[in-house]
Amino acid sequence: MPIDTSARPPRTPARRGSVLPYFLLALFVILLDQLSKYLVNKHMQPGLNGEVPLIGNWFKLHYTLNPGMAFGVELLPPPYGKLLLTAFRLLAAGGISYYIVQLWRQRAAAGFIACMALILGGAVGNVIDSVFYGVIYHNAPFGSPTPWFFGQVIDMIYVDIYEGFLSSAWPILGGKYVSLWPIFNLADSSIFVGVALTLLLQGRFFKQTEQNTALATPAPPTSEPA
């Protein structure tokens, strides 16, 4: 009599290789970010006195402290907003780590997983500042309940895009004084690059994931006469 094996779905073979290289990429971002902040803190003066022009007057190194979020944005009121922000970053880092493992198991595109690793490295880099820099570099804001978890993020990449009055021809902002000069660090840059590449290449990542899944899925078994 025929043997019906169609009732049992075919097992997809385990993915070859390891997820470790993606976590090593995140670790590389963390180490590079922390090294840059150490060198800036050790060898540069804060503010205009220590500013170092790199490309004209629009791209510079400028040592400053950031108590808030990426690119100097502070959305939560001090002092306990800082604790909430740090807790959110810790949860986000744990969530992204789990997500990377799941993406690897589901045969997601390697480029997409690498983007997640860049975001993870940047998030952890800034978490280290918030948790430890108040103790290591004594840069917690005056009046902080404790130096732990109240450290300020070290920023140093200064892009002076524009500062002045915009023409009245501009919609919404026309006739107003505008300052566009973000100051950020390598961790912020890594997060930005990871998010930007994900948005720009999401179609390609989706196709690669489909191809990886299709290649790894075995053909369904057929019934053969005994």
Q: Rounded to an integer, what distance in angstroms lies between the CA atom of residue 65 and that of residue 151?
A: 9
Question: Tell me, what amino acid is at 151?
Answer: G
Find all residues with CB under 8 Å of 201, minimum gap 6, and list them: 111, 112
Q: Which among 4, 33, 129, 188 is annotated as catalytic?
A: 188
Retrieve residue 107's tokens. Answer: 């045969």
**Is residue 155 annotated as a catalytic residue, yes or no?**
yes
Retrieve residue 187's tokens. Answer: 């961790």
Find all residues with CB under 8 Å of 86, minimum gap 6, and list them: 127, 130, 131, 149
Beta-carbon-side half-sphere exposure of residue 38 (alpha carbons within 13 Å): 10
**Is residue 188 annotated as a catalytic residue, yes or no?**
yes
Alpha helices for the chain (secondary structure H): 20-43, 80-105, 110-136, 186-200, 202-216
Using DSSP's 3-state secondary structure scheme, residue 220 falls into coil
Name the one residue in this structure whose structure tokens are 């220590």.
Answer: 50
Q: Which among 33, 129, 155, 160 is annotated as catalytic?
A: 155
Active site residues: 155, 188
